[in-house]
Amino acid sequence: MRSGNPALKDNTFLDLGSGTLVRNDAGAMSINGTVNKTALLLVITLAGALFTWSQFSTAMAAGNPGAVMPYVWGGAIGGFVVALVTVFKKEWAMYTAPLYAVLEGLFLGAVSAMFELRFPGIVMQAVGLTFGTLAALLMAYRSGLIKATENFKLGVVAATGGIALLYLVNIGMRLFGFDGMGFIHESSLMGIAFSGFVVVIAALNLVLDFDFIETGVEQGAPKYMEWYAAFGLLVTLIWLYLEMLRLLSKLQSRN
């Protein structure tokens, strides 16, 4: 949680002029600052999503739905690259986090429009469930009902890594001409159970994000970490939303 500056420690800076330790809250990460930056990133993401949603509607009216695919691939690949840059260069988060939000917004808008076309009403259900889950877990975390203990963190991180590995193996199998793991996409009982499990793990990652933010504030992390924490929270929310879409689509496919 520290920056590269060795003087930053325990919310204090050494005031060489007087030889005393003084708090420097103006240059430290805060809860309010992180919340504001998260809200801004969500607005940027929404703006990008509304743009590609409208583009999809226009493309459908013209009988050319494939016209939005550049936004899908550009947003997905571009967002992934920017996310990697942000992870390795946290101090750049002030610039890379908004760019990530734009790119993911372009991706989400097109994908959401495709789901909505097939399952009318599914997008608002997924959005409601995503933010409802965020609110519920935030209240549970603040009340102490859920605590981010070391064992809890280890379990969530291990499960998240396992899911990511499973998805990568599935993508690799499809690239080499194999059918892949059907239950990931199918609406069978096993497929629904898998999606439900992934939704739970994605939701529990929000608790890790809350703990990261709280720890950063307590330790006096530098101000730019507000952007990085907001970026991390956005990544989790996007993953949770997409998994909600997948789960709801599987459930509706069985009706």
18 occurs within a structural domain: no
Say yes or no to pLDDT of 2 above 90: no
**Per residue in 206-230, pLDDT tens?**
999 999 999 888 888 888 899 999 9
Say yes or no to pLDDT of 3 above 70: no
Rounded mean pLDDT, 70-87: 94
Residue 186 burial by CB count (10 A; 0-12/13-18/19+): exposed, middle or buried? middle
140 occurs within a structural domain: yes
Percent with pLDDT over 90 in the chain: 63
Count of domains forming the chain: 1
9 occurs within a structural domain: no
**Per residue in 105-145, pLDDT tens?**
999 999 999 999 999 999 999 999 999 999 999 999 999 89
124 occurs within a structural domain: yes
Domain that holds residue 197: 25-253
239 occurs within a structural domain: yes
State the chain's mean pLDDT as an integer: 85
225 occurs within a structural domain: yes
pLDDT bin (cut points 50, 70, 90) of residue 175 is: confident
Say yes or no to pLDDT of 14 above 50: no
3 occurs within a structural domain: no
pLDDT given at position 255: 62
189 occurs within a structural domain: yes
- The full 3-state SS of 183-217, as one line of letters, equals HHCCCCHHHHHHHHHHHHHHHHHHHHHHHHHHHHH
